[in-house]
Amino acid sequence: MPTLTVTAKGQITLRQDLLKHLGVAPGQQVEVYKLPDGTLTISSHAQDGDMNDFIACLHKPNAPIISIDEMNEVIARKCCVRHAGHRAGIDGI
């Protein structure tokens, strides 16, 4: 695991291999997230890509394959449940 040194100014420098792993070049921005356990997560600010890259990141190899009809059925069910709950709060149903 890489170890970084904090300078007197409170700065750290990421080595080239870490920058390459993040997919960023010097001068580009990164996002830093503070987690409740005291750790930080660093990720690239903006990643260039297209819709195929986005779809590929959603792929789950062991997930069951469902048809468009099955997807539409689930969406319709969820919308009906959400709408019924909304109406119950307003109409007293």
Range of the domain at 31: 1-59
CA dihedral (7, 45, 54, 52) in degrees, to 10, reads: -100
Distance CA(1)–CA(15), nearest Å, equals: 12
Co-location of 39 and 53 in the same domain: yes
Co-location of 84 and 48 in the same domain: no
Distance CA(23)–CA(16), nearest Å, equals: 10
26-76, pLDDT tens digit by residue?
A: 888 889 999 999 999 998 876 567 788 777 778 788 888 889 999 999 999
Residue 32: name the closest of 41, 45, 44, 23 by CA.
Answer: 41
pTM: 0.45
Distance CA(40)–CA(4), nearest Å, equals: 13
Distance CA(9)–CA(70), nearest Å, equals: 57
- Structurally, how many domains does the chain consist of? 2
